[in-house]
C-alpha cells in the first residue's frame, strides 16, 4: 500500500500513469524510467519503489557474512575511475601480488568467523599463469568446501579468454570445476559506448560483458549485475544500461541482484571533475532500478559504496539487501571511502532493525539461512583482566 500523500504527489507530478502501471504489475518503458529519474518528489518515488519491494520481500532485509580477497592490484587496463589498480607489483607503487599460499591463508584464516562467502576480484595481471586462478579457487574449495566462492568479474574472464586462447565457456567451466559458485557483477560500469570510450576504453566492451554473463547463466552459474553511476553518464545512459540487463534477464533468468555503485572520486583520474553522487541521487537510482528491473528479485545497497547510514535509508526506497560484513574491503577504501573497514553481524542487525526491518541472513545464492525475528543475545562480556600483584 502506498500512502494517500504519495498517491497525490505522484498524480500532481504527472506520474499517475506510471504509478498505475506499477500497481497493475505492468512493465515500465525506458521513457517511464527516465521520467522517474526526473520526478520532483523523491519521497513519493520511494513509496512506489517500497511498495514493490515489500510485495516481493515483506519486511525482510537480507545480508550475508562475507570476506573480500583481492589477490593482486596489478592491472594492464587504465580505467579512469579506478583507484585500486597499479602498473606493477613494486612496493614503492603500492602494487602487490599475493602468492597462492598467502591468498589461500587469508581466506581460510577467517573460518572461525562463520563466513559463508568469499568475494574475489583482482586486476588484469599481465604475467600470472592460468593455473594461478584455477589453483586459487581449487585450494580454497578443498580447504573449506562449504564456503561459496563468488569470483572474478566479466572483465577478468574476457581478458583471460584472450590471453590464454580459451573460449568463454572453457574459462568459466574450468573455474566452476575448481570451485566457483557465482560471479560478481563488477566491470559493467555504464554500457553506453560513448561513456566506455571515455572512462574504460581498454577492457571488455558492453557486449562482451553481457556475453560472459549469458555464457555463465547457460552453464548454470548465477551472477550479479552492477552499474557505476555518478560520473559522466547521462540519465538516459543509466536507463539504457538497465534495459540491457533486463533484456538478458528475460532471456536467461540468471541474475540474482542489481547493485548500483556510487562513483568514488579520490585517487583516480576523473575524481577532481566529479564529486561523489549525492544521497538524493543514490536513493533515486535505487528506487528507479527497483521499479524498472521488474525481473530482478533483489536490489542491493552496497553499504561500502553508499555509506552504511544511507544504505539503511535505502531499505525504504526499494532496496532489500545490504551486502554483508565485508571483511578486508580494499577497492572502495582506496577510492576514499570513509565507512568502517567491516561491519559486525550485530551492527548490520542494528542498522536493519532501526529501519523497521527484520534481518535475514542469506547465502551467496540468496537462500535464506536464518530470519532473525528476535534481537541477537547480548555479547558476552570480555574476560576479566588479570591483575598481577607483586609480593
Ligand atoms: S577497474 Fe578493474 S580493469 Fe579497470 S583499471 Fe581498475 S582493476 Fe583494472
- What are the boundaries of each domain within the chain? 4-57, 60-371
pLDDT, residue 260, reads 97
CB 155 less than 6 A from any atom of ligand 1 = yes
Please tell me the distance between residue 355's alpha carbon and the centre of ligand 1 in angstroms.
Answer: 35
pLDDT, residue 264, reads 82
pLDDT, residue 83, reads 86
| Sign of the alpha-carbon torsion through 120, 123, 128, 130 | positive
Mutation probe of ligand 1 site: the residue of 72, 75, 201, 212 with most atoms within 8 A of C-beta: 75
CB 263 less than 6 A from any atom of ligand 1 = no
In order, the DSSP letters of 245-280 are: HHHHHHHH--EEEEEEEE---TTSSSGGGSPPPPHH
pLDDT, residue 131, reads 98
Give the distance from CA 113 to its chain's centroid: 22
Please give the average pLDDT of every successive group of 10 residues along the chain, which has 391 residues. 90 94 97 96 97 98 96 95 87 88 96 94 97 98 98 98 98 98 98 96 97 98 97 96 98 98 78 81 98 98 92 98 86 70 89 97 97 85 61 47
Please tell me the distance between residue 180's alpha carbon and the centre of ligand 1 in angstroms.
Answer: 21
pLDDT, residue 92, reads 67
Packing angle between helix 100-108 and helix 130-143, nearest 10 degrees? 30
CB 121 less than 6 A from any atom of ligand 1 = no
CB 204 less than 6 A from any atom of ligand 1 = no
Ligand 1 atom nearest the C-alpha of 200 is: 4
pLDDT, residue 90, reads 76
CA-nearest residue, atom 7 of ligand 1? 123
Please tell me the distance between residue 116's alpha carbon and the centre of ligand 1 in angstroms.
Answer: 26
CB 261 less than 6 A from any atom of ligand 1 = no
CB 203 less than 6 A from any atom of ligand 1 = yes
Ligand 1 atom nearest the C-alpha of 73 is: 7
Please tell me the distance between residue 24's alpha carbon and the centre of ligand 1 in angstroms.
Answer: 42
**What backbone phi and psi angles, to 5 degrees, belong to 220?**
85, 15
Residue 46, classed as helix, strand or coil, is helix
The pTM (predicted TM-score) of the whole model is: 0.94
CA-nearest residue, atom 1 of ligand 1? 82
CB 84 less than 6 A from any atom of ligand 1 = yes
CA-nearest residue, atom 3 of ligand 1? 77
Please tell me the distance between residue 111's alpha carbon and the centre of ligand 1 in angstroms.
Answer: 29
C-alpha cell of 66? 562475507
CB 322 less than 6 A from any atom of ligand 1 = no
**CA distances (Å), 182 to each of 132, 170, 242, 340, 345, in order?**
19, 16, 21, 26, 22
Which CATH code fits 60-371?
3.20.20.70
| Gap between the Cα atoms of 284 and 281, Å rounded | 5
pLDDT, residue 391, reads 47
Contact indicator for 274, 265 with CB cutoff of 8 Å: yes
CA-nearest residue, atom 2 of ligand 1? 123
Amino acid at each position: 500500500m502506498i500512502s494517500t500523500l504519495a498517491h497525490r504527489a505522484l498524480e500532481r507530478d504527472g506520474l499517475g500513469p506510471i504509478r498505475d502501471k506499477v500497481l497493475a504489475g505492468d512493465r515500465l518503458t525506458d521513457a517511464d524510467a527516465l521520467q522517474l529519474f526526473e520526478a520532483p518528489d523523491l519521497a513519493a518515488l520511494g513509496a512506489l519503489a517500497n511498495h514493490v519491494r515489500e510485495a516481493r520481500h515483506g519486511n525482510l532485509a537480507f545480508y550475508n557474512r562475507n570476506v573480500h580477497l583481492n589477490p593482486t592490484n596489478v592491472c594492464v587496463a587504465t580505467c579512469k575511475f579506478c583507484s585500486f589498480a597499479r602498473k606493477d607489483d613494486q612496493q614503492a607503487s603500492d602494487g602487490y601480488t599475493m602468492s597462492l599460499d598467502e591468498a589461500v591463508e587469508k581466506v581460510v584464516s577467517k573460518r572461525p568467523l562463520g563466513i559463508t562467502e568469499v568475494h574475489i576480484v583482482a586486476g588484469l595481471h599481465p604475467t600470472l599463469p592460468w593455473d594461478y586462478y584455477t589453483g586459487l579457487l581449487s585450494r580454497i574449495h578443498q580447504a573449506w568446501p562449504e564456503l561459496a566462492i563468488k569470483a572474478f568479474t566479466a572483465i577478468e574472464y574476457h581478458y583471460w579468454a584472450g590471453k590464454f586462447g580459451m573460449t568463454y565457456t572453457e574459462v568459466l567451466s574450468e573455474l566452476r570445476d575448481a570451485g566457483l559458485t557465482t560471479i560478481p557483477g563488477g566491470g559493467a560500469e555504464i554500457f553506453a559506448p560513448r561513456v566506455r570510450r571515455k572512462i574504460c576504453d581498454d577492457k571488455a566492451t558492453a557486449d562482451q560483458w553481457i556475453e560472459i554473463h549469458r555464457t555463465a547463466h547457460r552453464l548454470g552459474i548465477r551472477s550479479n549485475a552492477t552499474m557505476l553511476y555518478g560520473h559522466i553518464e547521462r540519465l538516459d545512459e543509466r536507463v539504457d544500461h538497465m534495459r540491457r540487463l533486463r533484456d538478458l534477464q528475460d532471456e536467461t533468468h540468471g541474475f540474482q541482484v542489481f547493485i548500483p555503485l556510487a562513483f568514488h572520486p579520490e585517487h583516480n583520474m576523473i575524481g577532481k571533475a566529479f564529486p561523489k553522487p549525492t544521497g538524493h541521487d543514490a536513493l533515486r537510482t535505487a528506487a528507479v532500478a527497483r521499479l524498472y528491473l521488474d525481473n530482478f528479485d533483489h536490489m542491493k545497497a552496497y553499504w561500502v559504496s553508499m555509506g552504511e547510514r544511507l544504505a539503511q535509508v535505502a531499505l525504504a526506497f526499494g532496496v532489500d539487501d545490504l551486502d554483508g560484513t565485508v571483511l578486508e574491503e580494499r577497492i572502495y577504501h582506496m577510492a576514499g571511502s570513509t565507512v568502517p573497514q567491516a561491519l559486525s553481524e550485530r551492527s548490520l542487525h542494528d542498522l536493519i532493525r532501526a529501519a523497521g526491518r527484520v534481518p535475514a541472513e542469506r547465502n551467496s545464492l540468496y537462500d535464506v539461512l536464518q530470519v532473525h525475528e528476535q534481537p541477537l543475545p547480548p555479547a558476552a562480556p570480555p574476560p576479566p583482566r588479570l591483575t598481577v600483584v607483586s609480593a
